[in-house]
Amino acid sequence: MPELPEVEVSRMGIAPHVTDQRVTQLVVRNPKLRWPIPEDLYQIEGQVIRAVHRRAKYLLLETDIGTAIVHLGMSGSLRVLPAGIPPEKHDHVDLCLASGEVLRYNDPRRFGAWLWQPKDSEHSVLSKLGPEPFSDAFNAAYLQEKAQGKRTAIKTFIMDNHVVVGVGNIYANESLFAAGIHPKREAGKIAPQRLALLVDEIKAVLAFAIEQGGTTLKDFKNADGKPGYFAQELQVYGKAGQPCPRCDKPLSEAKIGQRASVYCSACQK
Ligand SMILES: [Zn+2]
């Protein structure tokens, strides 16, 4: 499943191709994504894409009259191709551009989304989201205040989009290991300086993943291959039973809030 770093790398990959481009045609081959693709989205035809932003795991293609909101779901990916390349299986949406390139959306499991947000309104999928992890609003004082009195496991807490957006399972595991915090510890019972360290580690772990993914950017022009979700250097995720990178004790595994959690019972308290 694409997590925030993949979405940010997708944004960086498509932005140079779609920014300042006029949309000549929207082609929808299968509107049945997580939500049906709304008729409103066709308003993007004839509009110029002014900017590509990201909010949580949503990509925002901004025009003068509104914004196309794209979510990659469980298995979605975007590619930029020259016009005229026949669609393959699961290529559900094309955004044809005046440059002669096509932004093509592929999604085998169809849990992704293409939505439309008229100018000066906020789509319901974007309201009530917590701060971006890289924003100044996500800081030690903020997390302490949010965590106060919370009995939720810290891992579940930081994966809550109302607390901070974009911390998926992989990065929750990795940042808690980096901060030395046990994933089951109650959020409200963690000392302020440890929460401050966790904020720093969340930012660092996500930034490192984006940096690694950035090296795959050339793939966005590759007509044959799919961008794929990039391989990463991870410390604990997917490594249960293997030696802890810090103390060599075997890493433990537990389900926390239905999600696979890997941690070191010696290094994480
Ligand atoms: Zn350890």
Q: How far is the CA of 200 from the centre of ligand 1 (A)?
A: 20
Q: Are residues 90 and 194 in the same domain?
A: no
Q: How far is the CA of 117 from the centre of ligand 1 (A)?
A: 47
pLDDT of 124 reads: 96
Q: How far is the CA of 77 from the centre of ligand 1 (A)?
A: 36
Q: What is the pLDDT of residues 169-225, one digit of tens each?
A: 999 999 999 999 999 999 999 999 999 999 999 999 999 999 888 766 655 554 334
Q: Is the residue at 130 inside a domain?
A: no
Identify whether 2 is a catalytic site residue.
yes
Q: Is the residue at 13 inside a domain?
A: yes
Q: Are residues 173 and 228 in the same domain?
A: yes
Tell me which of 11, 54, 57, 155 is the catalytic residue. Answer: 57
- Mean pLDDT computed over every residue of the chain: 93
109 is in an annotated binding site: yes
Q: Are residues 29 and 60 in the same domain?
A: yes
Task: Provide the residue range defining the domain that includes 42.
Answer: 4-118
In this structure, are residues 48 and 64 in contact, taking their beta carbons and an 8 Å threshold? yes
Q: Are residues 44 and 156 in the same domain?
A: no
**Average pLDDT score over residue span 224-229:** 47
Whether residue 232 has pLDDT greater than 80: no
On the CB side of 117, CA atoms within 13 Å amount to: 20
Q: What is the pLDDT of residues 15-72, one digit of tens each?
A: 999 999 999 999 999 999 999 999 999 999 999 999 999 999 999 999 999 999 999 9
Domains in the chain, number? 2
Q: What residues have CB less than 8 Å from 107, skipping those under 6 apart?
A: 33, 72, 73, 75, 76, 77, 90, 92
In this structure, are residues 52 and 58 in contact, taking their beta carbons and an 8 Å threshold? no
Q: Are residues 98 and 165 in the same domain?
A: no
221 is in an annotated binding site: no
20: its two tokens: 């300042």
150 is in an annotated binding site: yes
Identify whether 259 is a catalytic site residue.
yes
153 vs 63: CA distance, rounded Å: 41
Q: Are residues 163 and 104 in the same domain?
A: no
Q: Is the residue at 247 inside a domain?
A: yes
